[in-house]
Structure 1
Amino acid sequence: MRLTIETDLRYHFAEPADVLLTVEVAQLPDQALIGDRLVIDGVGPLRAIDGEDGIGRRTWMRAEGDFQARYSAEVELDRRPVTIDELPITPRRELPASVIPYLWPSRYCEADRFEAFVEREFPGANHGARVLAMAKWIREHLDYCPGASDARTTAVDVFVSRQGVCRDFAHLLASFARAAGVPARLVSAYAWDLDPPDFHAVVEVWLAGDWYLVDPTELAPHDGLVRIAVGRDATDIAFMTIFGTAELIEQSVSVRRQDTALPG
């Protein structure tokens, strides 16, 4: 599947502020970046740095006044369906060093608060089926409600309120998985066929020696997810982190599929 991605971010900064922008498509084996372009107005010098775990790229800048960031990309996805039901959960003592931090609680994923609940609600199976049961529970018990949460909302808040948006669903699934001894990280993504179009948050879990995508919302096709960044929670994957204040003027995300015509 080949996708065309376009993002337009417009803000106004009344005072100068440092900004960390994370909107560029990550180059990974199952998503080949054909080409991309990032154009930013209203900022000082740009400095690119690697994303978390070396996945993706972030860009530092100093913004003031009217700010606009336009990003476009063309990407080829080659992600075959994978069933994780029978993939084994790796014992904690056998996890590689780079994966261990994704077992720990983080700012938005208070995994330690869910250990008793997870043990009682999702007993038994030491396989990926346990993670899928968690995702199903979240879909069945949470309402998807835009505006129901904000930048302070944690997994515990969502568990209590039983409503939220994609990042809240992802925070809760990551918390459940970590409580069960499954490393889990948040993933920001562009998503084909997501309605309305926006940045999307999903989860990757570590099973049988690799990371596997799980979307607890099931709002977009799995094979149409284009990863941008990964991290412990929304802190690490935010598309725009502002060290100061800014006024949102306009924001848009577009993901279109390029259908190849069959030869006549």
Structure 2
Amino acid sequence: MKLSIRTELDYSLPAPADVLLQIEAAILPEQKVLRAHIDLPPVEHFARIPGHDNIGDRIWLAAAETLKVHYEATVEPVRMLARVDDLAAVPAHLLPGETVDYLMPSRYCPSDTFQNLVEAEFGGLQGGARVGAIRDWIGQHLTYVVGSSESSTCAEQTFVTRQGVCRDFAHLMITLTRASAIPARFASVYGLGVDPQDFHAVAEVFLDGAWHMVDATGMSRPECIAKIGVGRDAADVSFLTSYGAVTLNSQSVEVTEVA
């Protein structure tokens, strides 16, 4: 399957500001970027830097007045697929060093406060079976409601309100998985089937020696997803971070299947 991606951003800047963008599909063994093009306005400064864990690129811009970005790409996911529920957990003492940070609590994923809950709710399950049960529990107990959360909403608040958007579903999935001593990280992606279409967020869990995508919203599947970047939570992989005031005029994301 090949995905056609089209993204448009239009922001006004009342004063010069430094802006960090991460909207391009990452070049990775698990996905082929067959075509890509990004249009940016004239800026004072432009530089590419590696994304978190060296996955994808971030773009530094020193911009003023307006920031209009147009991005198009064709991406073919070729990642290995597995049924997460059947995979074994890696014992904590055998985890690779690069996965250990993803066991720890982070800004939006306070996993240390959920350890008693996961043992009470999922204590009879191990490894992928527990991850699958967490995914299903979130799907049964949370409602996807556009506009129901804010940029400051963390997994504790989502657990209480039982509603959110993809970002909140992913944060709760990551939190409960880390509380189960299984590494989990946040992935910013483009996903086919996401409704309404927008930047999407999924969890990635480390099982059986590899990372595996889990979309707790159920809207997209690993074979229909193009990864942008990863991080401990959404703070590490925001599509736009501004060091200065910006005003959103319009934003659109379109992901379709290439015939």
Q: Deviations over 1:88-108 (max 9, x none)?
A: 111111111111000000000
1:189-200 to 2 correspondence within 5 Å? 189-200=189-200
> Which segment is superposed worse, 179-188 or 35-44?
35-44
Q: What residue in structure 1 maps to residue 40 of structure 2?
A: 40
Q: What residue in structure 1 maps to residue 235 of structure 2?
A: 235
Q: Deviations over 1:187-221 (max 9, x none)?
A: 00001122221100000000111100000000123
SS of the residue corresponding to residue 173 of structure 1 reads helix
Structure 2 residue 132 is the aligned partner of structure 1 residue 132: yes
1:162-177 to 2 correspondence within 5 Å? 162-177=162-177
Structure 2 residue 144 is the aligned partner of structure 1 residue 148: no
Q: What residue in structure 2 maps to residue 183 of structure 1?
A: 183
Q: What residue in structure 2 maps to residue 202 of structure 1?
A: 202
Q: Which runs of 4+ in 1 moved over 3 A?
A: none
Q: Percent identity, aligned pairs only?
A: 44
Which residues of structure 2 form unaligned runs of 5+?
Answer: none
Inter-partner Cα distance in structure 1 for 2:63 and 2:148: 29
Could you tell me how far 1:42 is from its partner in structure 2? 4.8
Inter-partner Cα distance in structure 1 for 2:52 and 2:76: 22
SS of the residue corresponding to residue 71 of structure 1 reads strand
TM-score, normalising length: structure 2: 0.97
Amino acid at match of 1:157: Q
SS of the residue corresponding to residue 41 of structure 1 reads coil
Q: What residue in structure 1 maps to residue 78 of structure 2?
A: 78
Q: Is the 8 A contact 1:42 1:68 kept in 2?
A: no
Q: Deviations over 1:161-185 (max 9, x none)?
A: 1110000000001000000000000
Inter-partner Cα distance in structure 2 for 1:238 and 1:93: 31
Q: Is the 8 A contact 2:154 2:171 kept in 1?
A: yes
Inter-partner Cα distance in structure 2 for 1:130 and 1:162: 20
SS of the residue corresponding to residue 98 of structure 1 reads helix
> Which segment is superposed worse, 21-30 or 201-210?
21-30
Q: What residue in structure 2 maps to residue 108 of structure 1?
A: 108
Could you tell me how far 1:80 is from its partner in structure 2? 5.0
> Which segment is superposed worse, 98-107 or 240-249?
240-249
Q: Is the 8 A contact 2:127 2:182 kept in 1?
A: no
Amino acid at match of 2:53: D
Amino acid at match of 2:9: L
Could you tell me how far 1:245 is from its partner in structure 2? 1.7
Q: Is the 8 A contact 2:40 2:67 kept in 1?
A: yes
Inter-partner Cα distance in structure 1 for 2:41 and 2:192: 27
SS of the residue corresponding to residue 26 of structure 1 reads coil
Structure 2 residue 158 is the aligned partner of structure 1 residue 158: yes
TM-score, normalising length: structure 1: 0.95
